[in-house]
Structure formats: structure tokens, C-alpha cells
A and B are shown apart, each in its own frame.
Chain A
């Protein structure tokens, strides 16, 4: 086929398609809503949620999760453009705040109480629940951004995982009663890490073009 023939054929296919970024909201919001509905139905919200949201240290679980989601989604939307340069410092900033909080809690907790605060009582359910709650948001982001053209499909997949994991963690935080940063930075972080690695692997295949 001559290149001119190809051009003529391509030019006949002019159906406008929305840019990938504009597909995110219509699929992502229902996905998060379903995750939240699942959490409320199966695990339920923590009884003192309103109180937990108004005191600084426990509320930071929500703040950090949502910040991670926002920053990672922004980066993912850049990563799916072929010429997009992903800035990693906003992600590093969120990580630094989380680690700062972790270090502060380590100092503020009595040495004999640190082990208990770190392990908590619910680390295994946290490690299972966050990836499950992240599955739909991650899937929604992949569905929305599949039409993208990332220079690095693996990086784009990882950023989708961070965004979806952040959303999943924010949903889980509505239930979670563990208020020490020693617990939530560690275990939320580990759970989001799992989601991110899996998403990077999915991205390396699904987002190839």
C-alpha cells in the first residue's frame, strides 16, 4: 500500500473521539461510588467517623490518600500523552509528608507502645481491603485512558495504580479505626504499593501502542 493511499483511507475515518482525559470522570465516579457502597455494606463506616475527621492525625489518612489520588491522576494524565513529561516531585512531596508524619509518630509514641501501634489490630484486613476497593477505580482509569499513547506504558500503569490505590485507601479510611500514622502510613502504603506494582504490570501490556 502506498503511503498516499493510506493517508486517503485514514482521512475518511473522521469520527471525532473525546480526548482520554475527558473519559475519566464518567467512568471513575461510578467506580468509586460502587467501592464506597461495597465498603459501607460489608464493613461499615467507623462509628466515630465525624470525630475522626476533625482531629488532625487521624484525618491525615484521608488527606494523604486523597492527595496521592489527585497528584497521581494528574501525573497519569500527563503520562498518557506521548510528549508528556511527568513531574514526580508532587508525588515525592506527598511521600515526604507521609514519612514525616511516620517519623513524628515514632518519636511521639512511647517506645514500648510502638510495636503495637505499628502492627495495629487490622493490618491483614487493611492489606486485603484496600486492593479490593482499588480494583474498580483502577479498572475505570485503565478503561478511560486506554486510548492514550504513553511514552512509557509501565510508568503510566504505575501512576494509574497510585491514583486508584489512593482512591481505594480513601474509601477504606472511612471504615478503618486505626489512627496512628505508624499504622496507616505503613499498611496503607504497603497496600497501595501492591496495587501500584500490579497496575504497572497491567499497564506495560494494556497501554502499549
Chain B
């Protein structure tokens, strides 16, 4: 347990110092843990909805990563962020789910796994960004471009790409916030 936390702390410290590879390892390492918590807490959510919440948590971890104190263990911090976002998700989907449940009571069981729209929350949000930001997030996220490659394709400097990407993530979180209301 503590060994794992130490590993995470090392990765997150490197990430905060600007090491993208360490950061990616960190996010990849914590994702299964976050997913486990979301699934355990989010009873009543199907797998797709859970994954949306997992992505919300990761976005929050990303935007709030500087609130981690470098001398503190990672786990309590990560759990607190996860809990906060799961509560948010309950509040939001509680509203969203109570409405259609009665209306579509007979179609709901068949749709639960098949409907792909549930998994596309993040994509919907990306589509709400301005065109260039959306293109940038897609280039890096879907096409696996690095900042430098994305910059070359979009005729931006790498520095400008990083600034724009950071703004895009902040904007996504704001859109999500509004989406949740």
C-alpha cells in the first residue's frame, strides 16, 4: 500500500516538475484505482456512466494537481478528489435519470449497454469548445500527436500549443460544471 503510494508520489513529483512521461505513467497507474472507487460508490451507474465519471476525476486531478502537497501521501488527496466528483456525478445524473426512468421504463433495460451516447460525455464537451481547441484536443487525444506534431499541423509553436491545450482543459471543466447544472 505505502509502497504504491511512494511510487505515485515519485511520479507525481516528476510530473509537477514538467515530466510528461512520468505524468502519463501516474495517470495510467491511478486510473484503475479511481475506476474501482467509482464503480463501488456509483451503484446504479452502468459501466459507461462510470467511465464518464472516471474521466471527470482525471480531468479534475489534472487541473488541481498543484493542490497536492509534495510531502503528503498521494492516496488521501486522490480519494478526496474522486469522492468530490462522484458526489457531483450523483447530483447531476440523479436529476437526469429520474426524469426518463418512468417515461422509458420499458426500453431502459435493452438500452443500458447498447446506447453509446453515455460514453461520449467528454466528446460532447470537446465539441462545445471553439474549433481550434477542439481540433487540438482531438489531434493529441485521438491521433496521439505530441505537442510538437500538433503544433506543426496547426501552424502553432509548441509553446502556444501547450498554452492552448491547458486553456482547453480548463474550459472543458467549466463546460462540465455547467453541464452538471
A residues at B contact (CB < 8 Å)? 1, 3-20, 80-83, 147-149, 151, 208-209
Contacts and interface: CB of A to CB of B under 8 A. Distances in A.
Contacts of A80: 67
B64 interface: yes
Given A3-B54, A19-B67, A83 B24 contact: no
B137 A9 contact: yes
B19 A6 contact: no
B60 A9 contact: no
B69 A8 contact: no
A7 B122 contact: no
Contacts of A83: 72, 76-77, 79-80
B69 A81 contact: yes
A81 B16 CA distance: 16
B27 A11 contact: yes
Given A12-B165, A20-B67, A147-B67, A1 B60 contact: no
A12 B66 contact: no
Interface in B36-61: 51, 54-55, 58-60
Chain A interface SS verdict (over half): loop
Nearest to B60: A209
Interface stretch (B93-101, B104-112, B142-150): B142-150
Interface string B142-181: 1010110010000000000011011001000100010000
Nearest to A152: B84
A209 B63 contact: yes
Nearest to A10: B62
B161 to A, nearest CB: 8
Contacts of A8: 24, 140-141, 144
B144 A3 contact: no
B58 A149 contact: no
A11 B65 CA distance: 12
B20 to A, nearest CB: 5
B15 interface: yes
B63 A1 contact: no
A1 B162 CA distance: 20
Interface string B111-145: 00000000010110010000000000100111010
Contact of B120 (A1, A13, A149): A1
Nearest to B164: A13
A10 B27 contact: yes
Given A82-B84, A149-B64, A14 B141 contact: no
B67 A1 contact: no
